[in-house]
Structures are given as structure tokens and as C-alpha cells.
Structure 1
Amino acid sequence: MYLEPIATAAAYMAPAPELGPSSTAVRAALQPASTEPPAQTAELSVLTYNVRGLPWPMASGRGAALHEIGRELAALRREGRQPDVVLIQEGFRGEVAGLFRESGYRYWAQGPSRSERTPFAGMVVGARDLFRGEGVGKLMGAGLHVFSDAPIVDVRSIAYNNCAGLDCLANKGAMLVRLAPEGVPTPIDVVNTHMNSRKASRAPRSRTLPAHNGQMRELSAFLQANRQPGNPLLLGGDFNVRNSPARYYYDALDRPYTVVREFCSQPASGCGDGAADATSEPWLRSQDLQAFSPGAVRVQPLRSEALFTAASAKRPLSDHEGYLVRYRLSWSAATLAAYRPTPAMEVKPHKLGVKVSFKR
């Protein structure tokens, strides 16, 4: 494993030469994949939400907040407005099990555990600072969870090798769940991730920036190795990129996906309500992102909205808002003709520590 010297951090700070809504990826996403009219369409909504499920003494009162989030999701379900898929970050506490039970979802998958390790052939940030939590081991897993109404047919995960500061105490990484929504002719690959923070890590920028960029490289390698060719990709999570062009634009031209806020900033996107505003680089105004890439099934963001906002709750349930995107899925007659349903994974009783859970 190659240890990258911190002096190379300056090399990561230069943004890509072609950025933002005029980039090749966004232009390509705006173009029709085929002139053939779709045989059928469906919609799928994805919520990404950092629930701040930190253990005591890092935070207090979080167990009650997690249960309240579960009740809020259940209320949305009673109204027929529940997200089809929920991506959770910072779900470190056992009360996540209660959140799952109360929310009404049938399938539950979890990301890397505390002990999971993933070999990585690329560069990794070198020296460790024990006083800031580096090199002392992992005290927690990744805190990543996915709830779904559609069956989960596969789960993959990666524990990032790069980290800086207090973030190293958690086994941050990414997870891919392969969903089989009823009637959709291919599975859908959904990825959830949580990346290195800045100030909260208590580490200097000279360490947090290369660590974050290293995690982006690891995420790209994970997607390349685990995404099923032909499956559409939906990606979400806490990317910790707010007000940081150096983080957001790192390796931007090599991304195998299009960021929703960039896509929706275009007049021709058809995103409708919740489209990104006209201010400069609105995708830099949040830590939380969603992105997409088509497969045999085409994907298009329709609209987005914030959930669990300060204005909508009696008290803040997290230090993040939930970010929900509704996507249109469409496919051709040829794709539909080749449709072969995929059986769901064998599942186990739901509790923290198992990979996939199922609730009847």
C-alpha cells in the first residue's frame, strides 16, 4: 500500500478544467438515450439523511430523536408520501433498529461494520496524529443504513482507508444495495456514503483535504468494481463538500455519475418543483448530495425537496435536513422483453450487526 505524503495535498486543490452544469456529464444526461419512445415508466423517490445518531458523550438525547424520525417516516407512509428508499448516515446507535421498525420499511441493509477492512491499491494519506484520533483503531462502524420498500437482492460495502482526525474513529465508507422494484426490468444499484468532515474532524486542512480526495478515489474504484453493467445507478449521502470547491470538483471529469443539483440547474432539465436555484454553484451549498447514472433503464430527476426541516419540526431532529429526490425511470420495449425477476437475498432477523434485515 502506497503512503501518500501530505506535501502532495496542493496537487489536489486545482479544480477540474470543465465544471458545473456545462460539463460533459451534465450535457450527456440532458440528451435522450434513444429516440424510441419508452414502453413504460415508473417513479422512485430517494431520501438521504444524516440523522446525527452519535453515541454519548459525543451527543445527548439522540435516541429519542431517532425514534421521532421513525415516527415522522411512518406519518409520511400513512399519507402515501414515504420515500421509496432511505439512505441514513451517522446511524451509530442501537435505536436505529427502533427507527426501522417504526418507519414501516420492509428491507434494511447496513454498511461496513467496525471490523470491516477493504484492501485499496491506490494512495493513502500517510502520517497518523494520535492526539486527533488517528491510528488508534475504529470505535464504530460506518453508521450507514439503507431502508427500502423494494426487495434487496445484493449488498456490497467498502471501508475507506483514507481518513483524517476524529473521523478515523468511525469506519467510514460506502455501501451498494441492489434493489428489485416490482415491474422495473433491471435491478437498480443504490449507493450510500459518508465522507471525511472538515472542522468536526479537529484535523488541519492539510490532512482533511487529501483524506477526502482519497476517499473520492476509493469510491470511484468501488463503483467501478461493484456496479452491475446495465443497471441504473442512484448515489446519495453526506459528502461534506459545502463551500469547498476543492473537495467538490476533485476528479469531477472522471465521475461515472451526474450530480442532481447540477443537472436540475439547466433550463432543459424538466426538474420542475425543487429545481436548483439560479445562484452560483448551488450544489456547493449543502453537505448532502444525490447523483444518478442511467443503464438499460433511463433515469431522470423530476423534483427535489427538503424534509425534516427546522420549520417543519417542533425541535430539530438532526443538524442536517433530509434531501429527497424523485426520479423517473423509463425503459424500451426491448429492455422489457428481456426482463427476468431477481430473487431477494436470504435475510435474517433485523438487528444491528447483520448485513440485511427483513420485516414482515
Structure 2
Amino acid sequence: MQSTLKLKASILAAALLALSSMRDHEPAAEICATSAAPMNEISILTYNVKGLPWPLAIERDEPLRQIAVGLEQLCGDTERPDIVVLQEAFGKTAEDFIRRSGYRNVVRGPSEDDAEFASSDLWDEQFADNSSAFLGEGAGRYLDSGLVILSDRPIELVASGAFPQSACAGYDCLAAKGVVLAEVSLGEGLPALLIGNTHMNAKKSSGAPPERQLEAYRRQVDVASAFVIQNRDDRLPFVFAGDFNMGSVEERRDYLFASPLDVGDQNDGLRVLASQGHRSLGIDEVISHGADYQFYFSSPKWKLEATRTSIPFGAANAGKELSDHVGFVVTYRLTPQVSAQDGEAEHAS
């Protein structure tokens, strides 16, 4: 059994390394022309597109092409998301998606060669000592993070980092999963919007035992919390989106929601709107899946409010034909906060 697992991990690593270097030469889509006018309404799509290379996933080229082309065809339409936050857009998949989607600006998460979050004395060395080479733990990274942020507006990387080897479990350790933060310019007179993207450790598909999955998840929440707190500019409104991979595991949910990230159903755009009556088959599927979130935060001078939501791909059947996740859009309205002293709106300087 151990020999079979070791061979599987070795073949998988070799296949990932070979495929990560492949590139095609499909012509790029026309870049979507956008207005430079200030934008106080911002729509954000978060989507785990299942862009894993073979042999981790098969027959993914056509569904991924449909998603990217669908976004490109919305150019000039008010339904086109202003910002797209992707998970599992690895290597060649990300390059193809970017070319086809027509978005002008892109920020990528950590690559397989980038530095990981620094470990500290907080990490139990025993966790690393008990790693399984048969599952790829400690074997190094063969894929990038799969994290991509696309924007029609100017966007600038703030910081990114990969989860350390002492904070991953199973096959997840073969990819540079982590966190990326970027600032999107919204135009004159408005603050930049801080966008976060993450993808946390898988459960059963990681191959690791449940207790090790959970311990890795808790460690990732801890390092993500410290990273966001260190790099977040509290003067800016903030949306932290991604695949948080909680599912139905209450221990994961409880740990994340009790973390210094200050996240919960009360500040997830989709779930806030669902509680107000915005429901559909696709929205119910996202909530039931329990993985994908858009946590939003106002700033001292700017209020960020979720106003509407939609499922742009496969709404009739929850989008299952394009990915094993349902991508969803939340639109936010940005308005000046009202001063408690004089009742007048305050603008960021």
C-alpha cells in the first residue's frame, strides 16, 4: 500500500512539473474598454474554476474556455464583473483564462518558487516530523497557488505568501496555496479597494487523515490572520474572497469565525443578501457547499454595503456543468460614512 501511494505521488509530481511548463499560442481576446469615471458600485465574482491539470482533473479545457469567453462576451455589459477572484487557476490554465477573458489587469498569487509565510516557534515541529512523503508532504511545490485576481480597473499587488510546509496536509502541499492582497483603483475621489484571495487546505481530496487536515487548516487560519493584519491598510474598504474550504466541518467553521480575521455569515456578501430574500438554486448551492465566501469590511470613512448578487454561469442547475464550485457575483455600494458628531458625510482625504 505504501509503495503504491509513493509511486502515485511521484507520478503526480512529475506530471505536474511537465504540464506546468506547457504553453499554447491561442490569440488573446480583445481587451475590454472601460470608463475611467469614478465607480462607487463594484461587482466581484469569486470562482473556484477547477483548473487542476491532468491527472488531477480531466476534460477541463472546454468548461474553462466557456467561463473565460463568457466573461469576455460581457464586455460593455453592466453584468460583467468588475473584479474576478479565481482559485485553482494554475499555470497554463491561468494564462489561457487571462487571454480569453479580456481583462486588462491581473495580479497572481504566490508561485511555486516564491517564499512561504515565515514559520515561528508557534509551529509544533512534531507536525512536520509526522509528514507523509507518500502524500507529497515535504516534497516541495510543483504548482503555483492557483490564485488570480483580474480587474478592468488598475490593480496593484500589495503582498502575497504561500502557506508553510508546517501548515498544509496531503496533496495540498504540492501547490503554493496561500493568500494574495491587491489594491484596485476606483477612480478620483474614491479610496482604493483592498481585495484578498485565498484557497485553504482541502478535506478528503487532500488524502490526509481528518485530524491532520483539521490541524493544517487551523494553522492556515492563524498564518492568514497574521498576514492580513500585517498588510491590510485599515483606511481602505476590504473584500476577502476565496475558497475557505469549511464545508460541513463545524470545527473548521468555528475556528475561522473565531479568528482575528473577524469574519462570519454576518459580513459575507452572499449570505447577507440571502438572509434578505435573495435566493435561487445557485445561491442555495453555494451556501450548502460552505466553501466560497466574500467577506466585506467598511473603513472608518467609507461604508461598503452588499446590494445584489447573481450566478453568472449555469444558474439553472447551480453551475455544476462548468466546475465543482458555483461562481457567484456580489455587487457592493461604496458611500461616505456619516460623522457621528455633525451628521455630515466624511470623505477620505
TM-score by length of 1: 0.74
CA distance in 1, matches of 2:274, 2:318: 31
- Specify the SS of the correspondent of 2:212: helix
What letter corresponds to residue 292 of structure 1 in structure 2? Y
* Residue of 236, 241, 249 corresponding to 2:246: 241
CA spacing shift, 1:154–1:265, aligned 2, 3 Å: closer
* Residue of 159, 177, 190 corresponding to 2:162: 159
* Residue of 306, 311, 317 corresponding to 2:311: 306
Q: Is 1:213 matched with 2:218?
A: yes
CA distance in 1, matches of 2:245, 2:294: 12
Give the structure 2 partner of residue 200 of structure 1: 205
1:1-360 correspondence runs (5 A): 42-117=40-115, 118-121=117-120, 122-123=122-123, 125-126=127-128, 127-161=130-164, 162-183=167-188, 185-259=190-264, 271=276, 273-274=278-279, 283=287, 285-295=289-299, 296-309=301-314, 311=316, 316-332=321-337, 335-336=346-347, 338=349
CA distance in 1, matches of 2:152, 2:273: 31
What letter corresponds to residue 140 of structure 1 in structure 2? L
Could you tell me which runs of 5 or more consecutive residues in structure 2 were left unpaired when the two chains were aligned: 1-37, 338-343
Structure 1 residue 249 displacement after superposition: 1.2
Give the structure 1 partner of residue 34 of structure 2: none
Structure 1 residue 201 displacement after superposition: 0.4
Size of the aligned set, in residue pairs, is 297
More helix per residue: 1 or 2?
2
Is the Cα–Cα contact under 8 Å of residues 263 and 269 in structure 1 kept in the other structure?
A: no
What letter corresponds to residue 82 of structure 1 in structure 2? R
Can you list the C-alpha shifts for 1:137-177, whole angstroms capped at 9, x where unaligned?
A: 11111010000112113331011111000111111101001
Give the structure 1 partner of residue 11 of structure 2: none
Structure 1 residue 135 displacement after superposition: 1.0
Structure 1 residue 265 displacement after superposition: 9.2
- Specify the SS of the correspondent of 1:249: helix
Could you tell me which runs of 5 or more consecutive residues in structure 1 were left unpaired when the two chains were aligned: 1-39, 339-360
TM-score by length of 2: 0.76
Structure 1 residue 257 displacement after superposition: 3.8
- Specify the SS of the correspondent of 2:40: strand
Give the structure 2 partner of residue 351 of structure 1: none
Structure 1 residue 91 displacement after superposition: 0.7
Q: Which has the higher contact order (CA 8 A, sep 6+)?
A: 1
User: Cα RMSD between the aligned structures?
Assistant: 3.1
Can you list the C-alpha shifts for 1:262-312, whole angstroms capped at 9, x where unaligned?
A: 6679999995634999x9xx9564211110111131111112233323736
Is the Cα–Cα contact under 8 Å of residues 67 and 102 in structure 1 kept in the other structure?
A: yes
What letter corresponds to residue 68 of structure 2 in structure 1? G
